[in-house]
Each structure stands twice: as C-alpha cells, then as structure tokens.
Amino acid sequence: MNGMDGMAAYERRCRQLLRAYPRHYRERRGSELLGTLLDAARPGCRRPTMRDGWDLVRGGLATRLRHRPGLWRWIGYRFGVVAAAADGQEAQRLWARDDLLSPWFRAKYAVAHTLVHLPWMYGPALATDISGWYVVGSTAGMGGIWLILLLSTRTAREQLLAKHGFQPDGTALAPGDAASDDRGDDPAVGRRRRTGGLLVIDRR
Amino acid sequence: MVLREQSYLVLLALSDGPLHGYGVIKAVTELSDGRVRLGAGTLYGALDRLSGEGLVTVAAEEVVDGRHRRYYELTGPGQQVLADETARITELARRARARLARPRTAPGMGT
C-alpha cells in the first residue's frame, strides 16, 4: 500500500465525513474544507483521527442546526400551512432547497400529508361507533390521497422551489444569485465547477 | 464584544495578513504554544461566525495541487475588535499580576 493509496483512502473518508454538512454548504465550501483537511493530514495516515472526525461531524451538525428554520415555521412548511420555509433569511432558503432536492422529499411530503388527512378520515370512525363500510371508504379515500400525492409530488416540489427562488434543478431563478453560483463544488460527488469566479475542472 | 478564545486566536492569526484554512490552523497552534489545535470543523464554524459578524472576509481564492484554498483577512471592524480584546486581556493580566504580587492576608485580617 503506497502513500498515494493512503491519501486516496484519507480523502475518501473525509468526503464521507463531510456529509455531516448540509448539501448547500458542501456545494459552496466543501472543496475548501476538503483541501484544508488534506493539507493538515499527517503523511501516511489513511483516515482522520477520531478527534478530527468528531470535530467535522460536530461542525456539520451545528451548521445544519444553525441553518434550520424555527420550529413553528418548519411545522408550517412541512404541513403546507406556509409556503416558504425561509423567513427572509438566506440560510433558511438554502435549507428549503436542500430539503426539496433531497431524495427523501417524496417520503417526507407523503408522510406529512397523510398525517394531515388521517384525523378527518378515521377520526369519526374512532370517535363514534361507525365502522365497517365507513372505514373501508376512509381507507379507499386515503389510497386516493396517496395516489394524488405520488402524482403531484414533482409539481409540488417544483412549485416550492420556485417559491424559494430556484429552478427545478436547484439553480437560482435570479441571475447572479450567490445561492447557486457555486453548484457543483460538492466534494461528496467528486466534481467541482465554479467557485467565486474561479473556473476549475477537476474530475475525479 | 467578548470573544471566545478560539475566535480571538483566529483573529490574531489573521492579523499578520491573509491566510488560508490550514495556514490559520498552523498559526493558531503556534500562537497558543501547541495548546489549541483547531480541527477543520471548529475552524470553519469560527470563520462562518466571524464572517457573519463582519470581522473577517475572503481576500482571495486559488487552487494549489488540485486543492481549493480561500484566503481570509481581517476587516476594519475585525482589527478594531482584536485591538479592543487584546487591550482587555492585557488589562486583566496586569490586574492579575498586581493581585498575585500582593502578600496574602490571613483570614479575617483583610479590609
């Protein structure tokens, strides 16, 4: 095992740890963080020390917490009461973008809307003696809602992205918007495009 | 504004001129005589906070050996906060030295 292999293993491990950071942060700062980690690596080491690894994870989680919307705005956004997760703050707008582009968005969307519809679907049956056909009807209704949700998630995602100022692919609607100027800088996907006016082509 | 020790050391590291991330880590280690060794997560958390407060800004960017580096520098307010904090620490150290130099009084004999 030579030094190059060791450094490649080190870099791979760092990329994994950087996933603790939110997607938008990795896109904007990820390659810089990775560069600093590689600069600081001891020769021959194949993985960050426990201390350095924990420091990265803690930093990533703290950044995620710092960029989240407040509890009530989050609840309003998740359950469709308010359109925008952002309260005029850029970090929250980017949080919403991360959420909407996440592969988990469809599941989160479906669960949230199911929770909204459950009480009125099954509530009467639980509160009274109604059962049988009512429950069958409610279940069919819930199935219909799920079908609508499945078919409408993409549209909902695009509408919500537009409300936060983004195109369906996550790039900014407004030209020159710093929010998405740095897309593609994410070290977790191993490519880098443009960073603050600096064009770098570095496919790994 | 009272700074955390890490933030103070980061500002102090940048007082000599712009530095990139690893440069700041090395400078902080030297300044603290090896006592404070910043991890990348802690460093960038501190830089984000200090940038948010307008004390630090990005001076330049470059790619060296395929590694992306951003150089940070102190802003005017950053230099002012660093000078104020240094004066505060100096004054505290002066008082501490004066206090330690005084002969200790026995219990109940002090005024």
Q: Do B40 and A196 touch (CB under 8 A)?
A: no
Q: Do A38 and B67 touch (CB under 8 A)?
A: yes
Q: Do B44 and A55 touch (CB under 8 A)?
A: no
pLDDT for A110 beyond 60? yes
What is the distance in angstroms between the Cα of B45 and the nearest Cα belonging to chain A?
6
- The single-letter code of the amino acid at B48 is D
Alpha-carbon torsion, ordered A91, A96, A101, A106, to 10 deg = 160
d(CA B4, CA B10) in angstroms, rounded, equals: 10
Closest residue, chain A, to B45 (C-alpha):
A59
Average per-residue pLDDT for chain B: 92
Which residue pairs, CB below 8 angstroms and at least 24 apart, start in B97-102?
none
pLDDT reported for residue A107: 83
Closest residue, chain B, to A202 (C-alpha):
B66
pLDDT reported for residue A3: 63
Quote the pTM value: 0.76
The arrangement of strands across the sheet holding B67-74 comes to B19-20, B67-74, B56-64
Q: Give yes or no for B60 touching A (CB within 8 A).
A: no
pLDDT reported for residue A158: 87
Residue-wise pLDDT for A137-147, tens only, equals: 777 777 887 78
Average per-residue pLDDT for chain A: 78
Q: Do the interacting molecules here have an ipTM over 0.90? A: no
- Choose the closest CB to B25 out of A33, A40, A200: A40
**DSSP 3-state of A100:** helix
Q: What is the mean pLDDT of residues A159-183?
A: 73
pLDDT reported for residue B3: 84
**DSSP 3-state of B110:** coil
Residue-wise pLDDT for A36-68, tens only, equals: 999 999 888 889 999 999 999 999 999 999 888
pLDDT reported for residue A155: 85
